């Protein structure tokens, strides 16, 4: 009896210990990823997208054969340095709050004469087609490198959209009952092996928001914040959120304000 | 002149309040008494998803519990907790053949598979293929699981001390079918209630977690598991 009891007791104890273990903090993994990023920084393939974006931005393009140099990104026509750091913001000429990508779409339609629906459809690179928008976005963002994220939040519509973004972040829906907060409101959690940003940790939000657009190794291209918004909704099993829609701009505004002060350093590199 | 206009405004406000109350009472549970901000959010959602099929559009509409938990930021007070528990308990449906353990091998596959349920024009899943439960996205499943997530607790050893006992099976079936029938505003999806998994799939996953021979419950690997750090066993 005693002989039998001991292994059973040990097994139960073992099970108890395993069950009671705290969720492992992926410090080791995070460190090696940080090393990986450091190593790749100098050879980040995303730099190729920055260079391509620079060409695209300054070349005459579209039916009107003009460059984007007359595009006002918030600091005046043609001013690129520091413009991204204060986006999203309200634009009088558009009558709405726009993030980097919605402002670029606005300029490409109104200055260059591109077709809006086509721009929206081609915004993300696929296996067959390379996106111009990803290159343009990372180029313009890179012209704010070294500057802190600093959205204005002065216009009433900016404040309104900020609150809408915050509410959306916590809004559960869909067949998985998920909201952004389901994954992004607790410390040191992972989905499979992917570490998740915690919205309640200003340090993490600053780091994350300052490092998009990013070169995604698994995608083989630069991805933008708009892509991140689409991707999260897709993974939540929600229908495709429209590119540069108010919902995405509201979430990006909310997240950027939470990341206020984060230093812009793009393109970063991610899994 | 001035007092009259104040009175007029007061009257107008009273009428408005009455209107809002009426709207609140007559609307469905989903729309009950939305705040001004929540109405703005719903307008932004309608505007941001464009034309959708009815089936896709429904995914964006919150049910009562989704709305309540969003508002409470998933920290419901005692009264709301009771309300959610009782209505979610009432929403559980059981398999036609009764509660019998399913196929643990199939369950292992379902617990790992993250396939299924994605919609939209950009990258939809094939609706003809079965959804996976994707348990591993949030839970470590086995003592030697090196790919499991940590949003939920580790399930290593889950069946030890439980086995295929009918009460344990019922408890686990209900937990997967509708976690909010046990934990209001749980982060875990209501897999059965939302129709993401079938009752039979849930029984397969339950068998995988409970079966004494399942890799989840392999005691020899459990004993080898590191004993540190030692913490009190949480009440379960």
What is the per-residue pLDDT across B44-55, written as a single tens digit (0 to 9) for each? Answer: 999 999 889 999
pLDDT averaged over every residue in chain B: 86
> Which of B74, B151, B158, B159 is the mutation pick for testing A, counting most A CBs within 10 A?
B151
Q: What is the pTM for the complete model shown?
A: 0.84
Chain-centre distance for alpha carbon A92: 25
Compute the mean pLDDT over every residue in chain A, rounded to the nearest whole number: 90
**Residues linked to residue A66 through DSSP beta bridges, in sequence order:** A61
pLDDT of B146: 87
Looking at residues A254-263, what average pLDDT do you find? Answer: 98
Give the model's confidence band at A43: pLDDT under 50 very low, under 70 low, under 90 confident, else very high.
Answer: confident
Rounded Cα gap, residues A185 and A182, in angstroms: 7
pLDDT digits (tens, 9 = 90+) for A52-111: 999 999 999 999 999 999 999 999 999 999 999 999 999 999 999 999 999 999 999 999
Chain A contacts in chain B segment 75-134 (CB below 8 A): 117-123
Interval B166-192 mean pLDDT: 98
Half-sphere exposure of A245 (CA within 13 A, CB side): 21
* Partner A contacted by B231 (CB < 8 A): yes
Q: Which two tokens stand for residue A47?
A: 């730099």
Count of CB pairs separated by less than 8 Å, A with B: 170
* B51–chain A Cβ distance below 8 A for any pair: no
Judged against a pLDDT cut of 60, whether residue A239 lies above it is answered with yes
What does the pLDDT average to over B116-144?
96
pLDDT the model gives residue B28: 45
Read out DSSP for B70-129? HHTTT---HHHHHHHHHHHHTT----TT-S----HHHHHHHHH---S---SSSS---TTS
Choose among A174, A191, A234: nearest Cβ to B138. Answer: A191
Predicted complex ipTM: 0.85
A96 strand-pairing partners? A91
Counting every residue, how long is chain B?
Answer: 236
Q: Is B192 on the interface with A (CB under 8 A)?
A: no
SS3 B199: helix
Residue of A nearest to B195 (CA): A175
Q: B104-224 sits in which CATH class?
A: mainly alpha
Minimum distance, in Å, between the CA of residue A252 and any CA atom of chain B:
14
What is the pLDDT at residue A29?
Answer: 55
- CATH match for A44-270 among 3.40.50.720, 1.10.760.10, 3.30.43.10, 1.10.3720.10: 1.10.760.10
Q: What is the 8-class DSSP label of residue B152?
A: S
Q: Mean pLDDT, to the nearest integer, of B197-208?
A: 98
Categorize the per-residue pLDDT at B219 as very low, low, confident or very high, splitting at 50, 70 and 90. confident
Question: What does the DSSP assignment read for A120-177?
Answer: HHTSS--SS---HHHHHHHHHHHTTTTSBP-----SHHHHHHHHHHHHHHT--BTTTT
The predicted pLDDT at position B175 comes to 98
For residues A95 and A98, give the distance between their C-alpha atoms in angstroms, rounded to a whole number: 9
CA-to-CA distance for A114 and B199, rounded, in angstroms? Answer: 51
* B37–A238 C-beta distance less than 8 A: no
Q: Given an 8 Å threshold on Cβ–Cβ distance, is B225 in contact with A17?
A: yes
Whether A71 is catalytic is no
What would the mean pLDDT of B155-176 be, rounded to a whole number? 96
CB within 8 Å of B209: residues ≥ 6 apart: B107, B111, B155, B158, B159, B172, B216
Q: Looking at residues B80-97, what average pLDDT do you find?
A: 97
Q: Above pLDDT 90, what percent of chain A?
A: 83
Q: Is B225 on the interface with A (CB under 8 A)?
A: yes
Residue by residue, DSSP assigns A53-70 as: HHHHHHS-BTTTTB-STT
The predicted pLDDT at position B11 comes to 46
CA–CA gap between residue A180 and residue A233 (Å, rounded) = 9
**pLDDT (0 to 100) of residue A60:** 98
Domain map (residue ranges) of chain A = 44-270
């Amino acid at each position: 009896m005693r002989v039998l009891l001991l292994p059973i007791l040990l097994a139960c104890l073992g099970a108890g210990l395993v069950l009671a273990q705290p969720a492992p903090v992926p410090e080791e993994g995070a460190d090696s990823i940080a090393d990986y990023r450091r190593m790749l920084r100098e050879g980040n393939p995303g730099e190729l997208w920055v260079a391509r974006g620079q060409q695209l931005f300054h070349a005459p393009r579209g039916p009107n054969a003009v460059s984007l140099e007359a595009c006002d990104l918030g600091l005046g026509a043609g001013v690129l340095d520091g413009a991204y750091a204060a986006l999203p913001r309200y634009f009088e000429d558009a009558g709405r709050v726009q993030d980097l990508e919605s402002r670029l779409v606005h300029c490409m339609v109104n200055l260059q004469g591109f077709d809006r629906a086509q721009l929206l459809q081609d915004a993300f690179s696929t296996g067959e087609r390379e996106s111009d928008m990803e290159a343009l976005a990372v180029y313009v963002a890179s012209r704010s490198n070294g500057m802190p994220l600093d959205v204005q939040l002065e216009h009433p519509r900016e404040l309104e959209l900020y609150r809408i973004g915050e509410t959306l972040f916590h809004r559960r829906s869909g067949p998985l009952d998920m909201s952004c907060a389901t994954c992004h409101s607790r410390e040191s959690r992972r989905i499979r092996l992917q570490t998740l940003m915690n919205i309640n940790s200003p340090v993490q939000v600053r780091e994350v928001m300052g490092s998009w657009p990013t070169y995604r190794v698994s995608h083989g291209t630069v991805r933008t914040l708009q892509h991140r918004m689409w991707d999260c909704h897709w993974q939540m099993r929600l229908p495709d959120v429209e590119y540069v829609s108010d919902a995405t701009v509201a979430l990006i505004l909310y997240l950027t304000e939470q990341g206020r002060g984060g230093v812009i350093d793009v393109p970063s590199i991610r899994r | 002149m001035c007092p009259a206009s104040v009175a007029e405004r007061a009257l107008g406000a009273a009428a408005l309040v009455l209107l809002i109350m009426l709207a609140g009472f007559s609307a469905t549970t989903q729309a009950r008494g939305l705040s001004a901000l929540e109405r703005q959010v719903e307008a932004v959602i309608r505007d941001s998803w464009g034309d959708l099929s009815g089936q896709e559009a429904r995914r964006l509409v919150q049910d009562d519990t989704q709305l309540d938990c969003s508002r409470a930021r998933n920290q419901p007070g005692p009264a709301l907790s009771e309300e959610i528990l009782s209505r979610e308990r009432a929403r559980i449906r059981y398999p036609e053949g009764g509660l019998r353990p399913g196929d643990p091998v199939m369950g292992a596959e379902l617990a790992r598979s993250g396939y299924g349920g994605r919609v939209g024009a950009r990258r939809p899943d094939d609706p003809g293929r079965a959804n996976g439960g994707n348990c591993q996205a949030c839970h470590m499943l086995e003592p030697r699981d090196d790919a499991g997530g940590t949003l939920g607790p580790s399930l290593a050893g889950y069946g030890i001390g439980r086995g295929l006992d009918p009460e344990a099976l019922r408890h686990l079936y209900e937990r997967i079918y509708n976690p909010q029938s046990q934990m209001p505003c749980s982060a875990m999806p209501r897999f059965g209630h939302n129709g993401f998994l079938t009752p039979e799939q849930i029984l397969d996953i339950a068998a995988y977690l409970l079966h004494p021979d399942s890799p989840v419950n392999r005691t020899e690997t459990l004993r080898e598991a590191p004993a540190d750090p030692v913490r009190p066993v949480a009440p379960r």
